[in-house]
Structure 1
Amino acid sequence: MSIVLYQFPISHYCEKVRWALAYKSISYQKINLLPGGHIRTVKGIASESSVPVIREDDTIVQGSSQILDYLDERFPNRSLMPEEPSLAAEVRDWEERLDRIAAPAVRCFCYHHLLQQPSLVVPMLAARQPFYMQWGMRLGFKKVERVMRQWMQINAETALKARHDMEDILAELWRTYSRSRFLVGDKFTRADLTACAIFAPLFQPSQYGISWPDVEQMPVAITAWVATQKDVLQSLALRYEQNR
Structure 2
Amino acid sequence: MAVRLYQFAISHFCEKSRWALEYKGIQYQPVYLLPGSHIKTIKALAGTSSVPVLEHDQEVVQGSEQITDYLDRTFPDNPLTPENEDERAQALAWERRLDEEAGPAVRCYCYHHLLQRPKVVTPLLTAQTPFYNRYLVRLAFSRIDEVMRNWMKINEKTAAQSMETMTAVLQDLAEAYQSGPYLVGDRFSRADLTAAALFAPLFQPAGYPVPWPKPERLPQAMQQWLESQQSALAPLIAQYERHR
Superposition TM-score, scaled by structure 1 size:
0.99
Distance in 2 between the 1:95 and 1:57 partners? 26
In the TM superposition, 1:34-183 aligns within 5 A as 34-183=34-183
Instruction: Give me the whole-angstrom Cα distance separating, in 2, the residues matched to 1:140 and 1:48.
Output: 24
Deviation at 1:42, TM superposition (A): 0.4
Distance 1:79 1:14 in 2: 19
Structure 2: runs of 5 or more not aligned: none
| 1:241 to partner: Cα distance | 1.4
Q: Which residue of 2 aligns with 1:220?
A: 220
Shift of 1:193: 0.1
Give the Å deviation of 1:90: 0.5
Q: 2:69 and 2:130 mapped to 1: Cα distance?
A: 33
Moved over 4 A (4+): none
CA distance in 1, matches of 2:45, 2:144: 25
Deviation at 1:129, TM superposition (A): 1.5
Task: Name the CA distance, whole Å, in 1 between partners of 2:122 and 2:202.
Answer: 17
Partner SS for 1:45: helix
Amino acid of the residue matched to residue 92 of structure 2? R
**What is the CA-CA distance between 1:84 and the residue it aligns to?**
0.8
Specify the alignment match of 1:14 in structure 2: 14
| Distance across 2 between alignment mates of 1:159 and 1:210 | 23
1:173 shift after superposition: 0.3
Question: What is aligned with 2:205?
Answer: 205
The CA deviation string for residues 122-142 of structure 1, in whole angstroms up to 9 with x for no partner, is: 100011122211101001000
In 2, the alpha carbon distance for the partners of 1:64 and 1:200 equals 15
Alignment RMSD (CA, Å): 0.7
CA distance in 2, matches of 1:234, 1:211: 22
Per-residue CA deviation, residues 69-116 of structure 1 (Å, 9 max, x unaligned), is 000000111100111111100011000000000000000011101000
User: For residue 226 of structure 1, what is the amino acid of its counterpart?
Assistant: L
Whole-Å separation in 2 of the counterparts to 1:208 and 1:59: 26
Q: TM-score, normalised by structure 2?
A: 0.99
- Paired position in structure 2 for 1:24: 24
Count, aligned residues:
244
Deviations 1:159-199 (A, max 9, x none): 00000000000000000112211001110000000000000
SS of match in other structure, 2:5? strand
Is residue 127–residue 209 contact of structure 2 (8 Å, CA) maintained in 1?
no
Q: Compute the displacement of 1:57 (Å).
A: 2.5
Identity %: 51
Deviation by residue 1:204-242 (Cα, 9 ceiling, x = unmatched): 001212110011111111111011111111221111111
Q: What SS class does the counterpart of residue 119 from structure 2 fall into?
A: helix
